[in-house]
């Protein structure tokens, strides 16, 4: 995978934040010429995600570092699995260890949580997608992890999709006017409208919305919304989605379910990096 320059810059910033002017412990203890081999070890069961970024950390410190992955992103790992190895300068391994692990643990956590939701609605047409509720400046990596976990990506940012939310509607005056203005200025882009009740759903459909987000609606109202829409628009359920109710919501017939928790509440998995020689 080709890593965008913006992501490489973030990795450089993370290393600078951690190492600063120098790793005083490692430089004091380890001769510059020393080489070592270190293993990434799974300390729990999870879905792996983030190897390209975790390896890039060491490449940024020393381009001649070598890597061998024994698993691929998307694989389900068990406690004790040897994920990969890194070989080269001992100092580089120690300097990059924390940043590399932080990335791999965080992204694997996102992939694991996403996969739990995806498995919960297995066999249904509904897709699980993410939101923009990501860690600032880490959106590319976190949305990558969602895909690895089997989910889909909603819009990446404010620039690649029109989503008319409650504050837009309040500022403009009505759903109808908001959709009209959006179509006038961006006629080639699909338009999504967020609604909180069935009345607004009908208005959004009549106004020409392509997608309607059903925000924090009850399952009963979502079922009614599916009947009202009758395939005329794509329906997205959002708000209040939990592992316990995601299948019930999917069974209403909505096309997708967006879940902010995939990225803002995922718990990092436990991985260690151990020097073995």
**pLDDT tens for each residue of 232-275:** 999 999 999 999 999 999 999 999 999 999 999 999 999 999 99
Q: How many CA atoms lie within 13 A of 265 on its CB side?
A: 10
Q: Are 37 and 87 in contact (CB under 8 A)?
A: yes
Token pair in block for residue 76? 């389900």
**pTM confidence score:** 0.96
Task: Determine the pLDDT at residue 112.
Answer: 98
Distance separating alpha carbons of residues 101 and 90, to the nearest angstrom: 16
165 is catalytic: yes
pLDDT reported for residue 151: 98
Confidence of residue 187 (pLDDT cuts 50, 70, 90): confident
Of the candidates 37, 98, 147, 223, the residue annotated as catalytic is: 98
Is there a contact between 74 and 134 (Cβ–Cβ < 8 Å)? Answer: no
The answer to whether residue 98 is catalytic is yes
Q: What is the pLDDT of residues 42-79, one digit of tens each?
A: 999 999 999 999 999 999 999 999 999 999 999 999 99
> Is 234:214 a contact under the CB 8 Å cutoff?
no
Q: What are the E-state strand segments in 70-198? A: 76-77, 82-89, 127-129, 162-164, 191-195
Residue 133 falls in the annotated catalytic set? yes
Closest by alpha carbon to 146, among 123, 158, 163, 129? Answer: 129
CA dist 30 to 60, 141, 217, Å? 20, 32, 59
* Among 56, 130, 142, 194, the one annotated catalytic: 194
Angle at 120 between CA 116 and CA 122, to 5 degrees: 115
- Work out the pLDDT band at 40, boundaries 50, 70, 90: very high
Enumerate residues 6+ apart whose C-beta is below 8 A from 205.
212, 228, 229, 232, 233
**Which residue in the list 12, 43, 59, 165 is annotated as catalytic?**
165
Q: For residue 258, give the nearest of 246, 273, 270, 274 by alpha carbon.
A: 246
Query: pLDDT digit string (tens) for 90-141?
Result: 999 999 999 999 999 999 999 999 999 999 999 999 999 999 999 999 999 9
Summary mean pLDDT of the chain: 97
Catalytic residue among 81, 97, 192, 215: 215
Q: Which of 120, 133, 180, 224 is catalytic?
A: 133
Q: Given this model, what pLDDT does residue 188 score?
A: 86
> Starting from the edge strand earliest in sequence, which strands make up the sheet with 191-195, in order?
127-129, 256-258, 234-238, 211-215, 191-195, 162-164
Could you give the domains of the chain? Answer: 5-118+266-275 (3.90.1170.20), 123-264 (3.20.20.70)
CA distances from 131 to 84, 135, 157, 260 (A): 30, 11, 9, 5
In the numeric block, which tokens belong to residue 14? 């993370």
Catalytic-residue membership of 194: yes
248 tagged catalytic: no
């Amino acid at each position: 995978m080709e890593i965008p320059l913006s992501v490489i810059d973030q990795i450089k910033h993370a290393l600078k934040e951690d190492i600063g002017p120098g790793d005083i412990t490692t430089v004091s203890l380890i001769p510059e010429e020393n080489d070592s081999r270190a293993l990434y070890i799974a300390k729990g069961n999870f879905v792996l995600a983030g190897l390209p970024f975790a390896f890039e950390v060491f490449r940024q410190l020393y381009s001649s570092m070598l890597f061998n992955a024994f698993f691929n992103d998307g694989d389900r790992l068990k406690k004790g699995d040897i994920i990969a190895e890194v070989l080269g300068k001992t100092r580089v391994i120690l300097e990059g260890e924390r940043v590399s692990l932080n990335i791999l643990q965080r992204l694997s956590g996102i992939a694991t949580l996403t996969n739990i939701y995806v498995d919960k609605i297995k066999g249904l047409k509904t897709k699980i997608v993410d939101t923009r509720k990501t860690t600032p400046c880490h959106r590319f990596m976190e949305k990558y992890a969602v895909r690895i976990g089997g989910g889909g990506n909603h819009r990446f940012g404010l620039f690649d999709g029109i989503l008319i939310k409650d504050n837009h509607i309040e500022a403009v005056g009505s759903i109808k006017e908001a959709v009209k203005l959006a179509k006038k200025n961006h006629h080639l882009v699909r338009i999504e409208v967020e609604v909180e009740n069935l009345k607004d759903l009908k208005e959004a459909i009549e106004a020409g919305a392509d997608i309607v987000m059903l925000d924090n609606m009850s399952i009963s109202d979502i079922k009614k919304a599916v009947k009202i829409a009758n395939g005329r628009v794509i329906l997205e359920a959002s708000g209040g989605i939990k592992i316990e109710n995601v299948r019930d919501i999917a069974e209403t017939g909505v096309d997708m379910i967006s879940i902010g928790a995939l990225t803002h509440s995922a718990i990092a998995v436990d991985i260690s990096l151990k020097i073995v020689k």
